[in-house]
Amino acid sequence: MPHIMIEYSANLEQQVDVSLLINELHRTVIESGLFQPSTVRTRALPRQAYRIADGAPQNIFLQVTARVRAGRTVADRKTLGSNLLAASRQVIAGLPASTPIALTVEIQEIDPDMMFRYSTIQ
């Protein structure tokens, strides 16, 4: 069960194909081999209201959070985080070098005692 949540400043949409970003991160997680494909969920949410650093309107933020079920090794979580960062960087590679962007990937482990779910997806 990984849930990949992408949060970004709305100004990113002017320069980056967010659908491509979703697809690439989803593919990266599946290709990791750490999860059953049927358990992977990837979604994105633009933020219309934000302020980044000095408040310059060209500043962009991109936050990728992967919530994974407990039990993966630290090494596996680090590799997943590094791979998600690399995939994100590849998608945004077309941004002009002068574009100020803050890109963060965070892997969060879900407490199994606090996870409640229902699914009929196979």
pLDDT tens column, 4-42: 999 999 999 999 999 999 999 999 999 999 999 999 999
**Domains annotated on the chain, with CATH:** 2-114 (3.30.429.10)
pLDDT at 15: 93
Give the C-alpha separation, 61 to 99, whole Å.
11
- Tell whether the model's pLDDT for residue 59 goes beyond 90: yes
Give the C-alpha separation, 26 to 22, whole Å.
6
pLDDT at 112: 84
Read off the pLDDT of each residue in 92-118 and give the average, rounded to a whole number. 92
Question: The pTM is what?
Answer: 0.90
pLDDT at 80: 97
Per the CB < 8 A criterion, the answer to whether 46 and 10 are in contact is: yes
The residue behind tokens 């963060």 is 104
Give the C-alpha separation, 98 to 46, whole Å.
22
Please give the mean pLDDT across all residues of the chain.
94
Per the CB < 8 A criterion, the answer to whether 45 and 85 are in contact is: no
